[in-house]
């Protein structure tokens, strides 16, 4: 999870012979109209200082044609943030400042590396939490660098902040929905040709 891991993973894929890069995983909603479970195929990837990378238009168009008959698709820009964006206020501020519809912590660095190498790049992200959802502080504090929850630490945090429990339960429902969508997408052929690889990203 995060830029350093995304960079390392992307370079590892390139070294292994990947000819295209797909950033794959969850995202947090910034646009209030974007619902949990929505499939996002962003047209461009932004960072928080205003840099932009455009995805492969032909590959994205091919994905839209193949995914749309099974799942609704959202467009717009995807923002990559250096830290988790968990509060409603922070999401609203980023949406107002960037007009990006969703946020993750990995896609921009993978897109930037692909651009430097003149490699086709796209992102496929499923919205985990909506703009109106607060990420429980306990989740943010107990996720490791891979986005996996440390259960013992989580339980300790919940003992300290039991008010986080309802939000945690709502997030669990959101996760199951988003994970089912990712699993369904994984069953589709997402690359028109051989030689591609996916850089997986999480969502804290």
Angle, vertex CA 25, rays to CA 88 and CA 70, nearest 5: 100
- The reported pLDDT for the residue numbered 187 is 80
Low-confidence residues of the chain: pLDDT under 70: 137-159, 193-204
- The reported pLDDT for the residue numbered 194 is 43
- The reported pLDDT for the residue numbered 202 is 60
Distances (CA, A) of 49 to 108, 141, 193: 12, 25, 34
- The reported pLDDT for the residue numbered 13 is 95
Distances (CA, A) of 67 to 73, 111, 123, 184: 8, 21, 13, 10
- The reported pLDDT for the residue numbered 112 is 96
| CATH code of the domain made up of 3-135+184-195 | 3.40.50.1580
- The reported pLDDT for the residue numbered 153 is 65
pTM of the predicted model, to two decimals?
0.81
């Amino acid at each position: 999870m995060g830029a350093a891991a995304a960079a390392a993973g992307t370079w590892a894929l390139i070294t292994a012979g990947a000819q295209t890069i797909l950033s794959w995983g969850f995202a947090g909603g910034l646009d209030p109209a974007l619902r949990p479970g929505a499939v996002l195929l962003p047209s461009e990837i932004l960072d928080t200082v205003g840099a932009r990378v455009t995805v492969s238009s032909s590959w994205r168009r091919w994905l839209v044609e193949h995914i749309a008959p099974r799942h609704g698709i959202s467009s717009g820009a995807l923002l990559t943030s250096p830290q988790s964006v968990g509060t409603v206020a922070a999401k609203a501020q980023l949406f107002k400042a960037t007009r990006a519809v969703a946020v993750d912590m990995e896609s921009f660095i993978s897109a930037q590396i692909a651009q430097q190498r003149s490699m086709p790049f796209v992102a496929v992200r499923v919205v985990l939490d909506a703009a109106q959802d607060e990420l429980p502080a306990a989740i943010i504090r107990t996720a490791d660098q891979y986005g996996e929850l440390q259960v013992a630490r989580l339980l300790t945090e919940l003992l300290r902040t039991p008010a986080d429990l309802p939000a945690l339960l709502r997030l669990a429902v959101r996760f199951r929905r988003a994970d089912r969508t990712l699993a369904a997408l994984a069953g589709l052929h997402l690359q028109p040709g051989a030689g591609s690889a996916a850089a997986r990203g999480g969502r804290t």
